[in-house]
Structure 1
């Protein structure tokens, strides 16, 4: 009977070792999965940054830099405002004179719909 209980003890120990190996294998698997996810996230981030850089270079080639466009628009705006100020200065007196003529030159007459 002692061999039988010794055999049972050996089976229990073997089962315990097998369980420990399975647990260790599961932990290793989880660790490898976590590491793979981190590596994939880093690779995705690197790819994303590279594509963003390529896009910005392409955009700059096609559209030109934004600062150039902004400077051009600002210069055109300043030029147009200067032209408008000059035009206002030249035509201001004439416009005021014309408005005053229209306001003060009233021709009173009876409306067509008025019945006598």
Structure 2
């Protein structure tokens, strides 16, 4: 056997191994870059979805607070209307009540 040929074969194998290692390293780096990109995109989507949910939550809070204000105003108006109604009824009945009270006060029982 030719000693140079054996050395050449080993050298070829070492070169091939080195090239294969470079290919594997490049593939790993590409894979890691893709995973990082996917993670960054997923984080962005999560942040976007979270902000969307927070916006909806704040909107519903403001709507419920706003409706409570309008409910309060509506109740206040209804109460005022009922008070005015009662005052009107009382003023209609007031002369009769005064006459009745005067009659009982001035009547002497024996």
Same fold (TM over 0.5): yes
Distance of 1:16 and 1:77 partners within structure 2: 86
Pair 1:44 & 2:71 matched: yes
1:60 aligns with 2:87: yes
| Bigger RCO (CA 8 Å, 6+ sep) | 1
- The one of 25, 32, 46 equivalent to 2:59 is 32
Name the SS for the 1:58 alignment partner: helix
CA distance in 1, matches of 2:104, 2:92: 19
TM-align CA RMSD = 2.4
More helix by share: 2
Aligned mates of 1:6, 1:70 — CA distance in 2: 94
TM-score normalised by the chain length of structure 2: 0.61
The number of aligned residues is: 82
**CA deviations over 1:70-113 (Å, ceiling 9, x no partner):** 97154333123xx22xxx2xxxxxxxxxxxxxxxxxxxxxxxxx
Runs of 4 or more off by more than 6 Å in structure 1? none
SS for the counterpart of 1:64 is helix
- Mapped to 2, the partners of 1:59 and 1:4 lie a distance apart of 81
Where structure 2 has 5 or more consecutive residues not aligned to the other structure, the ranges are 1-26
- Uncovered stretches (5+) of structure 1, i.e. residues with no partner: 89-116
Aligned mate of 1:5, from 16, 26, 32: 32
**TM-score under structure 1 normalisation?**
0.58
